Every structure is written in C-alpha cells, then in structure tokens.
Amino acid sequence: MPNPYPTELRERAVRVYESSDETYREVAERFAVGEATLQRWVRRQRETGVLDPLAKAGGWASPVDLGVLHALVRERPDRTTDELTRVYNGRVAPKARVHRSSILRALQRTGYVFKKNERGRRSTIGPASKPSAPRSASGSRR
C-alpha cells in the first residue's frame, strides 16, 4: 500500500475547494489527486474537522509459535521446510495447523536463511548474517 498524501496537500486542496466555485474534478486535477479522494477529504473535514491520514491497519498475525519453531530448528537444523512443517504440526496440531509457507515466512521474518551445500540436496537453516558483516576471507583466489 502506498504512503498517504501529506496533510499539507490535503489541507490546501480542501481549502481551495471550499473557498472557490470550482468543481471536485477541477480541484482534483489541479492537485493531481483523484476526484473521489478529494470528496473523501472534504467530507472528513466537514464531519471531523481533521485531515490527518488514518493509521495503517490490517494484516494477519502469524499463527506460528516462534518458540516451538526455533526449538525444532535447534534440534535439527538440516530439516527441509516440508519436514519442519510436519514436525511442527505434530507438536501443536490440536492448537493450530499451519502451512509450509507460514513456516517459511516465520523463519525469514526472524532472520533465518536457507543455504544449500555443494551436493545440492541437503539444506540447513541458520541465522542470517548482518548486512554489514565483512566479506568472508575464504574462497579461491586467482
């Protein structure tokens, strides 16, 4: 979702509409906003006297219990996300079963990354390095 329009822009647009004989369309075009947006601003100003943007809301809280998930990763960090999901759902199944993508998002949100080893089949789950971490000294040099 994009950021809300600044309060100053809202106030100027509403002030121009209220003090002139221009239509919603003309004022909206002048300020490069949608006509319905201007109508909402004017209505809100008249009803509440405030034009500040509303706080962002919505979204879902993750159903994943991070304590249980992190304990499972510490037990065996080489589990795939499918295996991790099966084990997680086995431990908390009466409460709430979750999908593999929920487990993956919860791990990514808390800083875990998935690294494949050279053989390509196995992967491990480990904490992500900080973005400002120095480069590794290992590796081939030419």
Mean pLDDT of 91-95: 74
pLDDT in tens, 98-112: 999 999 999 999 888
Please write down the HEC assignment for all residues of the chain. CCCCCCHHHHHHHHHHHHHCCCCHHHHHHHHCCCHHHHHHHHHHHHHHCCCCCCCCCCCCCCCCCHHHHHHHHHHCCCCCHHHHHHHHHHHHCCCCCCCHHHHHHHHHHCCEEEEECCCCCCEEEEECCCCCCCCCCCCCCC
What is the pTM (predicted TM-score) of this model? 0.47
Backbone angles phi, psi at 16, to 5 degrees: -65, -45
Fold of 66-127: Arc Repressor Mutant, subunit A (1.10.10)
Contact of 17 with 27, CB cutoff 8 Å? yes
Contact of 44 with 58, CB cutoff 8 Å? no
pLDDT greater than 90 at residue 10: yes
Domain ranges of the chain: 7-48, 66-127
CA–CA separation, 88 and 68 (whole Å): 7
* Token code pair at residue 99: 């999908």
pLDDT in tens, 36-75: 999 999 999 999 999 999 888 888 888 898 999 999 999 9
* Token code pair at residue 54: 């509303």
